[in-house]
Amino acid sequence: MQDGFLRAAAASIPVAVAAPRRNAAAVCARIDQAHRARAALLVLPELCVTGYTCGDLFLSALLLDAAEEALLNICVHTQNCDPVVVLGVPLRAGGKLYNCAAVLHRGRILGVVPKTWLPNYDVFAEKRCFASAAAYHGPGSVPVSGADVPFGTGLVFACAQMPAFRLGVELCEDVWAPIPPSVRLCLAGATVIANCSASPEAAGKPARRRTLLRAASARGLCGYVYANAGPDESSARAVFSAHHLIAENGDILAEHAPFAPEPGLLVTELDLLTLSAERRRNTTFVPEGAGARAVPFSMPLRPTALSRAVSPHPFVPDDAALRRKRAELLLSIQAHGLRKRLLHTGSRAALLPVTDDLDSVLALLVCARTMDLLGRARHDVLAVTQPGGDRARVLRLCKALGVSVRPNADRAGLARTHAALPLAAPDFTALLLGEAVCAPEAYGVNAAVPRTLVRWLIAAEAERAEEPLRAELRAALSAPDADCAGVSCALTDFCFYHLVRCGAHPRRILRLARAAFGDAAADADILRAMAALTRCLFRRPAALPDHVALGSSAQALHWPPDAAGSLWSEEIDALRRELS
């Protein structure tokens, strides 16, 4: 639970249908396993105390009494265990039976959440035995073995030691509803949603679950932990596959595939501080706490090792197929933005100063694509070669693209003569760090493209280019990236993303960079990159030329030019002293 990371786990048990004592023992074994794994949250399937597939046995008082007794035994077992445990159990309240999730921690039943949406189609017949939470109009607590326990769908379980950890609960079908309970819970402050589920397997359903949980976690700007029933349930009408998923803000962080070999626990860490930062910056996420109740609990903060992957290149997708699609999208955004500017200004040509740097290569590719969109000849791109570098390579690339070349000359005169729109090639990282300056009248083709993204966009174009263009692009990519302000551009982009985009403080960025780069970056290099970045942000804010936004890099424009950066620089200095 350090630095805003919450280790969460999902699991199923080898359920014995209608045998609460045996199931309680299996649940306790899972809790012990989660405790050893240092999980702070464990989510188990729907009705796992009895088995989901008990059918009309749910009408048996004997089974319900045994389930309540098993729940109490499990609760006692949690006394010396760290995780908050969320598990499914049938409970009676107000003369009706409810399909519930009980939330347990350190020997207490923190609360009970009844299921709202009861499926009664296909293989489901829950309304035969259970009542919906929507039909409950009783008090806000119910007796469970003589103790009053908070009861309702609006419970938000709040950790006193980690304010970013606020837990909401829904059950299986709830998340499939048009407006799931989790929507209201997230607006009421829940940053993590636990779902106790028993979703039978069917053709195409795993993909729909993934899509659903990506959407639920993105819509709620939350972490989502989904535990599904396994194949030990009765197969009288359906088969369950133990398809567990943990999602965060639209991404699947961890998955136990349907019918995969028994894995024990599905475990990963949820980044609650970044989720909280996303909510603060998202103006359409408007908190609304009506009908919600906070249930406080205490949990000691433990060291949390990171098992989740941390990308060293946060602007570049890790998946190869997604990289190709994203490259096409971003290049299209750049080209269409330039197209509109050329049309709006009535420019007959585009004037681009070029060097052998990669940002010039990308700018040339965008210009060529733009002329294709306009149906114009590519020689309407006027590439003005600049002194230094490998001029021969620049000329070969321009020839392969079919653009015009002009020697370094009076650019203003060329622009007037050819009615050309002045362009600038420097990328966002170079502009941010003051490594490049653009003329005030220039349109910044790459002004929203971080340096690490430049290389990847060129590589994507090289994959589908024909000769001789492919050979020229590969030659350009063979040159290593130059450092920015004396530090690695990869580290600069990484630190920028986490400092500005995610609102992280330097100590947390250092930890993330260690996880992302491993031995490829020393602590001193990471701190040097952070120090250089903060100096530029607070002493010399980037003045970006006109450009189209590709993501959120343009946030730097909103940094005040006279802000004091002492909070950040002092923490960086403190980290240096600790490491010396």
Please confirm, yes or no, whether 46 is among the known catalytic residues.
yes
Please confirm, yes or no, whether 172 is among the known catalytic residues.
yes
Torsion, CA 486, CA 490, CA 491, CA 496, rounded to 10: 110
Pairing of strands 244-248, 251-256: antiparallel
Count Cα atoms within 13 angstroms, Cβ side, for 331: 27
**130 Cβ contact partners less than 8 Å away, ≥ 6 residues apart:** 58, 90, 96, 97, 98, 99, 115, 118
Q: How far apart, in whole angstroms, are the C-alpha atoms of residue 68 and residue 162?
A: 31
Pairing of strands 381-385, 349-354: parallel
**302 Cβ contact partners less than 8 Å away, ≥ 6 residues apart:** 1, 2, 38, 40, 82
Catalytic residue among 28, 46, 173, 484: 46
Q: What is the DSSP string of 326-387?
A: HHHHHHHHHHHHHHHHHHHHT-SEEEEEE-SSHHHHHHHHHHHHHHHHHT--GGGEEEEE-S
Q: What angle do CA 15, 21, 25 make, to 5 degrees?
A: 70
Q: What angle do CA 284, 286, 287 make, to 5 degrees?
A: 155
Backbone angles phi, psi at 490, to 5 degrees: -65, -45
Catalytic residue among 28, 54, 172, 438: 172
Q: How far apart, in whole angstroms, are the C-alpha atoms of residue 109 and residue 91?
A: 13
Catalytic residue among 48, 54, 81, 115: 115
CB-CB contact of 45 with 198 (8 Å): yes
Residue 102 three-state SS? strand
CB-CB contact of 343 with 427 (8 Å): no
Q: How far apart, in whole angstroms, are the C-alpha atoms of residue 70 and residue 93?
A: 17
DSSP class of 487:
B
Q: How far apart, in whole angstroms, are the C-alpha atoms of residue 407 and residue 422?
A: 15
Residue 390 corresponds to which tokens in the numbers above? Answer: 């490998």
* 430 Cα distance to chain centroid: 27
DSSP class of 499:
I
Please confirm, yes or no, whether 170 is among the known catalytic residues.
no
Active site residues: 46, 115, 172
